[in-house]
Amino acid sequence: MTLPLSPDAQRACLLALGNAADAVGFAVPLAQYSQRQALHVIDAVIHAYERQQQQQSRALRGLPPLDDFEDSEIPF
């Protein structure tokens, strides 16, 4: 079952999609994306959705929002 996206999640996903498509080039039709380009777009949208879900979950639990430092991949 697919759950509807909240307006904030929709905006986050659209922004990520736009940024990824801009990196590929808006003149390139989606059907002509290479596999690497298509996977980049998919990864960007999924990451934006997951980040928005984490933020929403933290807000519901009364926790402060994540900042970029907490979300980065630090090896220690």
pTM of the model: 0.71
Would 73 be classed as within a structural domain?
Answer: no
Number of domains the chain is built from: 1
Would 75 be classed as within a structural domain?
Answer: no
CB 41 within 8 A of CB 17: yes
Would 69 be classed as within a structural domain?
Answer: no
Range of the domain at 24: 7-64
Would 39 be classed as within a structural domain?
Answer: yes
Would 14 be classed as within a structural domain?
Answer: yes
Return d(Cα 35, Cα 12) in angstroms, integer: 23
Taking the chain (76 residues) in runs of 10, the rounded mean pLDDT of each run is: 76 92 89 93 92 85 71 52
pLDDT of residue 76: 46
16's tokens:
């990520």
Would 47 be classed as within a structural domain?
Answer: yes
